[in-house]
Amino acid sequence: MNWRRISLIAVPYLWLAALFLVPFLIVFKISLSDIALSIPPYTPTLDLSEGWSGLRNMISQLDFENFEFLADDDLYWKSYLSSLQIALISTFFCLLVGFPIAYGMANAPQEWQPTLMLLVILPFWTSFLIRVYSLIGLLSNEGMINQFLMWLGLINEPLTILNTNYAVYIGIVYTYCPFMILPIYATLIKLDGSLLEAAEDLGCSRTEAFWRITVPLSKAGIIAGCFLVFIPALGEFVIPSLLGGSDTLMIGKVLFEEFFSNRDWPVASAVAVILLLILIIPIVMYQRNEQRRIEAEQ
Amino acid sequence: MRRFTWFNATSLTLGFAFLYIPMIIVIIYSFNDSRLVTVWGGFSTRWYGELLQNEAFLDAAWVTLQVAVLSSLIATVLGTMGAYVLVRGGRFFGRTLFSGMMYAPLVMPEVITGLSLLLLFISIGLDRGLITIVLAHATFAMCYVSVVVSSRLVSFDRSIEEAALDLGCTPFDAFRSVTLPIIAPAVISGWLLALTLSLDDLVIASFVAGPSATTLPIKVFSSVRLGVSPEINALSTILIGLVTIGTITASISTKRAVLRRKREEQMAEQMT
């Protein structure tokens, strides 16, 4: 143990403790506080000058009132459930769109691979906000899709897509697609082609070989992709506020509004704590899957 | 045996059409002379001119650039240190907590990260502005840098590092003259990732930015809320163009670096 080793560990450690761990403890503490008309707008606050008795005094004033409030109010229940629903449905459609693309990339000729890879990565590096923005012009009542459908004569009046939940689904599938494609592609490209040949030699049809070999062997990639879409989609704020309507309930948006419009910090903190509790399960499952994937590769 | 079927070709075509058509439409309409975003009024670059005279956008762009450069540099240093500690650091007190803190920000919803950092800054009485955005961005970006760098650290041959130590290098010298040059490409891509994350971030910045410092995404978001505008189309086109050039340059230079490394390895084998 020399000072270099200690400082090498201590610098990132303390940084994360101060800017990641402590903020969480603060959120947790404020979620147990009461709203107050003061600066900051909650009570009790920790008075460091009183030392231990100040801390004990503060803890004695904390309660679970905000959580009871969340449980009683329909709005929050509905927001959590509708976020879960929107995230699940969009993840499913993302898989439906992403898998064929990843499969096509993996089967494409060797010399195309770098270009195809570049084409998937490019949207990934492009500003998220701009990609969501690009959908607004497409989906609006006077937008390209409606103009095109009306020109074809399929519809007589514009379909309302923008500012509905459909637009939110489209937005999530569109922006998170690369997160689905990349892990699936990574498992498909490693798949041993001779297995498929063997299956066909043994009398499998191509479709049967696909379902019995390709899909099970790419399971780890499919699971990773689904979590990479589902987890951020659940707390999504930008997509529901730009593409969704006033009746689109998503918990990220509710938290944002609770904090900035209603200035109710304790309730916003309680919303955050519950969102985190909901996310712990998928996050742990995702990490287990990743661990298994890494072990399988070695 | 892989076969590229009609089904594959169709799904690639449709898939990439889905990914690219919305952005291509934005690019085309940025050259539209009409203010109406749905009517084509002839080719013009007037919106680029108006964008360059828009002080508010230029100020926000300057703030964003400063934040991105500062925060990505901090994130690269801290993230590389963190990756080294996780992969090579051995056991130390609180290692599980450390690796947990290193990975958690990757999966944390942005609204929670933003909220918690804002509450921290308020409770310690730090004025919101450029500094708070830099601190926030450096914190979540360092975790991404660490993932990129540690995957390189895991995969490279440790014996050369040990050889340097046997030949009398101190651990620090061994890191500087052996490890760092090998992981340099990963450090650079981690830095680019940190830079992009910072340039793109809207949610965390909305929480921690004060009235004195508005970033470009915050500015774009508030104007996009009012609907599609030709100025934003022009701005989007510029940003998409920069990303495209950057990504293509990066992919070409990685390919060159890989080729060079292969050549050098071959030469080294011939010499021994």
User: What distance in Å separates the CA atoms of residue A107 and residue A91, rounded to the nearest whole number?
Assistant: 24
Taking an 8 Å cut-off on Cβ atoms, the answer to whether A126 and B240 are in contact is yes
The pTM of this model reads 0.88
Contact criterion met (CB below 8 Å) for B194 and B64: no
* Chain A nearest CA to B264, separation (Å): 23
By the CB < 8 Å criterion, does B84 face chain A? yes
| Least confident range of A2-11, A53-62, B133-142 | A53-62
B202: nearest CA in chain A?
A129
Residue of B4, B6, B11 to mutate when probing chain A, most A C-beta within 10 A: B11
- Per-residue pLDDT at A7: 85
Q: Which residue from B11, B26, B107 is facing A101, i.e. has the nearest CB?
A: B11
**B16 occurs within a structural domain:** no
φ, ψ at A42 (rounded to 5°)? -155, 160
Per-residue pLDDT of chain B (272 residues; tens, 9 = 90+): 577 889 999 999 999 999 999 999 999 989 988 877 777 888 888 889 988 898 889 999 999 999 999 999 999 999 999 998 888 877 888 888 888 888 888 888 889 999 999 999 988 888 888 999 999 999 999 999 999 998 888 887 788 888 888 888 887 788 888 888 888 889 998 999 999 999 999 999 999 998 888 999 999 999 888 878 888 999 999 999 999 998 888 888 888 878 887 888 888 878 76
Q: Which residues of B touch A107 (CB under 8 A)?
A: 2-5, 8
Contacts of B97 (CB under 8 A, 6+ apart): none
**Is residue A33 in some structural domain?**
no
Q: Which long-range contacts (CB under 8 A, 24 or more apart) does A86-90 make?
A: A86/A165, A86/A168, A86/A169, A86/A172, A86/A233, A86/A240, A86/A248, A86/A250, A87/A172, A87/A229, A87/A230, A87/A233, A87/A234, A87/A236, A88/A230, A89/A169, A90/A168, A90/A169, A90/A172, A90/A173, A90/A176, A90/A229, A90/A233
> How far away is chain B from the Cα of A109, in angstroms, using its nearest Cα?
7
Chain B residue numbers with beta carbons less than 8 Å from the beta carbon of A242 are 221, 224-225
Domain range for A212: 66-297
Closest CA of chain A from B271, distance in Å = 31
Q: Chain A: nearest CA to B43, how far in angstroms? A: 19
Separation in Å, CA of B86 to nearest CA in chain A: 9
Q: Cβ of B221 and A129 within 8 Å?
A: yes
Q: Which of B19, B23, B199 sits opposite A177 (nearest CB)?
A: B19
Question: B202–A238: do the CB atoms touch at under 8 Å?
Answer: yes
CA A236 – CA A122 distance, rounded (Å): 21
Question: Does pLDDT of A2 surpass 80?
Answer: no
| Residue A295, phi then psi, degrees to nearest 5 | -60, -40
3-state secondary structure of A160: coil
Domain that holds residue B254: 25-271
CATH classification at residue A226: 1.10.3720.10
Q: Does residue A248 lie within any of the structural domains? A: yes
Is residue B125, in this structure, part of any structural domain at all? yes
Q: What is the pLDDT of residue A51?
A: 66
CB of B238 within 8 Å of a chain A CB? The answer is no
Residue of A nearest to B248 (CA): A118
**pLDDT at residue number B1:** 54
CA A108 vs CA A217, B4, B19: distances in Å:
19, 5, 18
CB environment B59-80: b (16+ within 10 A), e (fewer): ebbebbeebbebbbebbbbbbb
Q: Which residues of B touch A21 (CB under 8 A)?
A: 101
Averaged over A114-127, what is the pLDDT?
Answer: 90
Contact between A233 and A87 under an 8 Å Cβ cutoff? The reply is yes
Query: B253 — contact with chain A (CB < 8 Å)?
Result: no
Instruction: With respect to residue A43, please indicate whether it lies within any of the assigned structural domains.
Output: no
The total of structural domains in chain B comes to 1
Q: Which of B61, B210, B15, B237 has the alpha carbon at shortest distance from A103?
A: B15
Q: Does B22 touch chain A (CB under 8 A)?
A: yes
State how far the Cα of A252 lies from the Cα of A163, in Å rounded to an integer.
Answer: 17
B104 interface with A at CB cutoff 8 Å: yes
Inter-chain residue contact A8 with B84, CB threshold 8 Å: yes
Nearest to B115 among A130, A242, A259 (CB): A259
Chain A residue with CA closest to B142: the answer is A12
Give the chain B residue nearest A7 (alpha carbons): B81
Whichever domain contains B87, its CATH number is 1.10.3720.10
pLDDT tens digits along A186-219: 999 988 888 888 888 888 888 888 888 889 989 9
A96, B218 Cβ separation under 8 angstroms = no
Of B135, B220, B227, the CB nearest to A129: B220
Chain A residues within an 8 Å CB radius of B105: 20
Is A104 a member of any domain?
yes
Q: Is residue A246 part of a domain?
A: yes
The number of residues in chain B equals 272
Contact B109 A279 (CB under 8 A): yes
Higher pLDDT, A12 or A292: A12
Whether A222 and A99 have beta carbons less than 8 Å apart is answered as yes
Q: Could you tell me if residue B105 is inside a domain? A: yes
Quote the ipTM score.
Answer: 0.87
Within a domain: residue A24? Answer: no
The answer to whether B134 contacts chain A (CB < 8 Å) is: no
The rounded mean pLDDT for chain A is 86
**Contact: A19, B139; criterion CB under 8 Å:** yes
Domain membership of residue A4 (yes or no) is no
d(CA A250, CA B57): 30
Please count the residue pairs, one from chain A and one from chain B, whose beta carbons lie less than 8 angstroms apart.
232
Residue of B nearest to A176 (CA): B19
Q: Within a domain: residue B205?
A: yes
| Interface mutation target, options A2, A38, A39, A101, chain B, most CBs of B under 10 Å | A101
Which among B187, B264, B233, B249 has a CA at the least distance from the CA of B45?
B233
Classify residue B17: in a domain, yes or no. Answer: no
Q: Name the closest residue on chain B to residue A134, using Cα atoms.
A: B22
Number of domains, chain A? 1
Residue B145 lies in a domain: yes
Contact B225 A242 (CB under 8 A): yes
Question: Under 8 Å CB-to-CB from A129, ≥6 apart: which residues?
Answer: A238, B200, B202, B217, B220, B221, B224
Tell me, yes or no, whether B11 lies in a domain.
Answer: no
Name the amino acid, one letter, at A217: L
Residue A50 forms part of a structural domain: no
The reported pLDDT for the residue numbered A46 is 63
- B111 within a domain of the structure (yes/no): yes
Q: What are phi and psi of A91, to 5 degrees?
A: -60, -40
Is B251 in CB contact (< 8 Å) with chain A?
yes
Residue A3 identity = W
